[in-house]
Amino acid sequence: MTEQAQTLAENARSIEAVDPLTGQRARTRRGSQGFWALVWRRFRQNRLSMAALFIVILIIAFVLGAGLISEHVTGVTPTKNNLAMKLSAPGENGYILGSDGNGRDVLTRLAYGGRASLMIATLSMLTILAIGVILGSLSGFFGGKIDTVIMRAVDMLLSIPTLPLLILLASFYRPGPALLAVFVASVSWAGISRLIRGEVLRLRHQEFIQAARLLGSSNSRIIFRHIMPNVVQIIVVWASLAIPGLILTEAALSYLGVGVLPPTPSWGNMLQDSKQYIRTNWTLVFIPGFMIYITALCTYLVGMGLRDATDPRLGGR
């Protein structure tokens, strides 16, 4: 039994996996850096995803530079209005992208609105991962009653329409951006939880987990040192594919008036404010709508490229 434990321990320290693209064997723990370098090389071969990544970087730089745009480009804050110059067309009266119905600069509000929208999507994604990964790992690793309780909660949550539930919660509490992100995450973690549970169920019977048990590793050590590094790939891909949906969710809630509330701008409430001017000043609707569209599309393309790069069999390469 001692020799078997030693053999399994060696396997746990140097688990090898065959790379589906090169056919070479690589260490999964010590060679993780090599794996992600290989993923990056595959990702760069996807020109569409690379172009989408470039656009996403530009959008992030644009919203992070909202303060610089306000100070050095437009010279106004997102809430400063000038009713004498309201509904200016792009390029008119010194407004690069025009002004809205209250005379506020659209470019400034677009930058600050994007900051709010992306912040909510990112916070929602991180909160969903925190809840879903923890519960999914506990469910898959321990099984039994813990698994039953968590999975029944997942089934119940998946059976409830998400958007009506979010509208109901937001209408009662009128949340700010941070609380809105928590609301979105509280009803959206079931999918990743079930995904992580399935992967943990597969991993917990692997040889290296048995080796860790024979060496006296605690359950927490097994989960965080042996199982979690093997599900990072799934988490990264899921997160990149989930962000577009979260951006659209925030936009929908703000458009319906239960998300980010004025005067704080977001792309969603910019759409809501400008819908009455669609016939006379269509750019007020087009500009924030286009930013929502291009951000969600490019983020989704980046996620698809990342998915294909981590598993070349899905990308046909």
User: What per-residue confidence (pLDDT) applies to 27?
Assistant: 44
CATH of domain 2-13+32-66+115-256+279-315: 1.10.3720.10
pTM: 0.80
- What is the structure's pLDDT at 124? 93
Q: Alpha-carbon distance 97 to 107, whole Å?
A: 6
pLDDT at 19: 42
For residue 25, the model assigns a pLDDT of 42
Q: What is the DSSP track for 49-70?
A: HHHHHHHHHHHHHHHHTHHHII
pLDDT along the chain (317 residues), means of 10: 50 43 43 73 92 96 94 91 90 91 93 92 93 91 90 90 83 80 90 91 83 81 82 86 89 85 87 88 93 93 88 55
State how far Cα 120 lies from the chain centre: 10
DSSP 8-class letter at 161: -
Q: Map out the domains of the chain as residue ranges.
A: 2-13+32-66+115-256+279-315
d(CA 239, CA 196): 13
HSE toward the beta carbon, residue 253, CA cutoff 13 A: 33
CA atoms within 13 A on the CB side of 278: 10
DSSP state, residue 261: P
